[in-house]
Chain A
Amino acid sequence: MNAREKILGKIRSAQSNAALRTPTESINNHLAQHPRGPMPSAPENLLAQFKERALKLSSDVRGTSDKMEVPKLLAIYLSERKLPNSGVCWPSLAGLPWSAAGLDMQSRPAKNHDLIGVTGAFCAIAETGTLMMLSGADTPATTSLLPETHVSVLDPRRIVATMEDAWDLMRKEFKQPPRAVNFISGPSRTADIEQTVTLGAHGPYRVLLILAPL
């Protein structure tokens, strides 16, 4: 008998009392209906809540009503912080006027030495100020991970109230989850030394969210 059979066999004999078990039908119903648990009440203003919570997580937030302005906003942000002006972006954003704003953005997945990574986002969650990223050929996961600065261009219409809403949006637009779903809530951090929060552990030191209709 292999380990799998032994372990499952032990569990089966310990749970031999059929009365305590859930009928298969109700298990299947639970999976099909995936009911929601207790949730916070819906905020009056999704955008305002999202911004407030994102700032709390030490993300920076900027906004524009014209997506063509995004490169300019980024250029200002980078020069304020004396950061380099070259990096990589997702292919979907390659068409923005980066060079006109004095930026050199290459459309490819990030490598170790790239310092700025510009991504979009699948959606964002107002409850916690979180970005939801789905991995894929055109949405490489490394872009939000390896560079010291992560910039995400986000359409405010893609802000949902809760993680439950985000799952529903994913289910609506895709059959199944991609290889990696990453929820990102601000710059990477550690509190391992003396429980003192330090921004910039193994991932980005800073996260800039640019809200723009895409």
Chain B
Amino acid sequence: MQNTSLQFKKQVTIKLADVKLQDALSRLQSRFVEGRSAVISEIHDLQETRTAAAAIRDRVLNDLEHWLLHFEQQATARGAIVHWAETGDDVNRIIAEIAAQHGVKTAAKSKSMVSEECGLNDALEQAGVSVMETDLGEYILQLAHEAPSHIVAPVVHKNKEEISDLFAEKHQLPRKTGIAELCREAREILRPAFLNADMGISGANFLVAETGSVLIVTNEGNGRLVTTLPRVHVAITGIEKVVPTLEDVTTLLRLLPRSATGQSITNYVSVLTGNKNKEDHDGPEHFHIILLDNGRSSLIGGEMQEMLRCIRCGACMNHCPVYQNIGGHAYGWVYPGPMGSILTPLLSGLEKSPDLPNASTLCGACAVVCPVKIPLPDLLRKLREKQMQLGMKSRQETFMLKAWAWLALRPNLYALATKIGVRMMRAMGGKEKLLHTLPGARGWTDGRDFPAPSGMTFRELYKRGAHK
């Protein structure tokens, strides 16, 4: 997928004015934020479990080469074929080759954010393989030719009416209006796709080094279907997804669905090891696992390595006041919200996403909910520092900061300037004591009013208090 985050500021203005989107986002907040808080307390000792989860991820990241090799060895021993890909294009090429090798014409796919990084669907269509997305949300997006706007709830930006219209148009069936009917219709359209597909494509939430297994969590059952029925299964995931043992993955599973959708466990957790035996009635004859780097290895051993702990639960975006107001598309690439504001610049270039590290109020809500304790605000701050060092800040911002620093080093002048400033602002605020516009901060006051100061600076008030 192409990174369009250079358009961030323009997109934000559009998204803030999109009434339907604002409606949809408020739903996300009520369902996922409240859902999480209802079940997260089921965990016996949440802080201890989060600490253990972070340690499990760190254990792997600190010795990633070792764990990857162990995983590869175990998976291969069970008959899986492990491929390595440096870039998204490499993934596309490898899958096209696997498809050609096995005479694959059709593929059924369950949700994979890594495949979005690669732009896999277009590449496979070009290679003559027709791909059907089978996760309901992803299927809707495929029909609408749109990109996901959330890593867990990809179609959160669309409402039921839009989906009804879309189905009626594309399926050529009478328009359904109930959510259950829409789901039934999609089920009936997609069932033959599972049965006829030559290849199933899935992501992997985790790779278990101990057993060489691919673990996927799903609710709809499409993940089970695409890994059970087609004769070829290809799982694509990032190199950082390894976890040492089945016990370790169990600790992470206590946190993942609760943080993501507010479920104690997802409907299905599938642990897939090797290909079908002679005696088995079901399962793929050929099992391929593709491990994608795409910039991840450059975070190893550096100050941003903690970002690779991420288990893609989406809690940070659900709780982010910025995401809650602009949705996922504005971020311009696969991963939105706080985790995206860090991953996008790191994986696809800071110069291509200059606004993302700044698309956060650093309120810290993301770090509080992150199940693997990623210090997201700290990482955002580090990216901002890097921008400063690289001279990537706008001239206006650099000038303002320099001017402020000059003034702040001259206390008497500073006191005078702020004294004049607050008095002017009080006068401008009028009876309502609100400023509708501020020179130099239009972007801020376009969406809300700035409360006018009382007319005295803090230092003046403090002095007065001290004399009493």
Residues on A lying within 8 angstroms of B by beta carbon are: 2-4, 6-8, 10-12, 14-17, 20-22, 24, 27, 30-31, 34-41, 53, 56-57, 109, 112, 128, 130, 135-137, 140-142, 145, 162-164, 167, 176-196, 198, 200-204
Distance from B287 Cβ to chain A, minimum over Cβ atoms (Å): 9
Inter-chain contact B27/A194, CB cutoff 8 Å: yes
Q: Are B245's CB and A163's CB within 8 A?
A: no
| Least CB separation from B65: chain A residue | A11
Shortest distance from the beta carbon of B116 to any chain A beta carbon, whole Å: 16
Does B417 lie at the interface of the complex (its beta carbon under 8 Å from any beta carbon of A)?
no
> B271 contacts which of A53, A112, A177, A188 (Cβ < 8 Å)?
A177
* Inter-chain contact B66/A37, CB cutoff 8 Å: no
> Are A183 and B269 in contact, CB atoms less than 8 angstroms apart?
yes
Instruction: Kindly state the separation between the CA atoms of A198 and B179 in the bound complex, as whole angstroms.
Output: 7
B356 CB → nearest A CB, Å: 24
Contact A141 B224, CB 8 Å, known A128-B265, A136-B279: yes
Taking CB atoms, residues of chain A closer than 8 Å to B155 are 192-193
Residue contact A195 to B220, C-beta cutoff 8 Å: no
Of the four ranges (under 10, 10 to 19, 20 to 34, 35 or more), the interface on chain B belongs to 35 or more
A163: chain B residues at CB < 8 Å are: 250, 253
- Is there an interface contact between A192 and B137, defined as CB atoms closer than 8 Å? yes
Are B302 and A178 in contact, with the CB atoms below 8 A? no
Q: Looking across the interface, which residue of chain B has its beta carbon closest to that of A130?
A: B265
In the complex, which residue of chain B has the Cβ closest to the Cβ of A20?
B62
B220 pairs with A15, CB closer than 8 A: no
B282→A137 contact, CB < 8 A? no
Known: A11-B300, A177-B213, A183-B269. A188 touches B280 (CB 8 A): no
Q: B52 near A: Cβ within 8 Å?
A: yes
Q: Which A-chain residue is minimally distant from B223 (CB atoms)?
A: A202
User: What is B's interface to A at a CB cutoff of 8 Å?
Assistant: 24, 27-28, 31-32, 43-45, 48-49, 52-53, 56, 59, 62-66, 68-70, 78, 84-86, 90, 134-137, 140, 153-156, 159-160, 163, 179-180, 182-184, 187, 190-191, 194-195, 209-211, 213, 219-222, 224-225, 227-229, 239, 244-248, 250-251, 253, 261, 264-277, 279-283, 291, 293, 297-298, 300-302
B157 shortest CB reach to chain A, Å: 11
Taking CB atoms, residues of chain B closer than 8 Å to A184 are 267-268
A162 to B195, CA, bound (A): 34
Q: Please pick, from A11, A180, A188, the residue contacting B64 in the complex, using a CB distance under 8 A.
A: A11
In-complex Cβ contact of A34 among B213, B247, B267, B282 (8 A): B247
Partner of B183 from A6, A20, A187, A193 at Cβ < 8 Å: A193
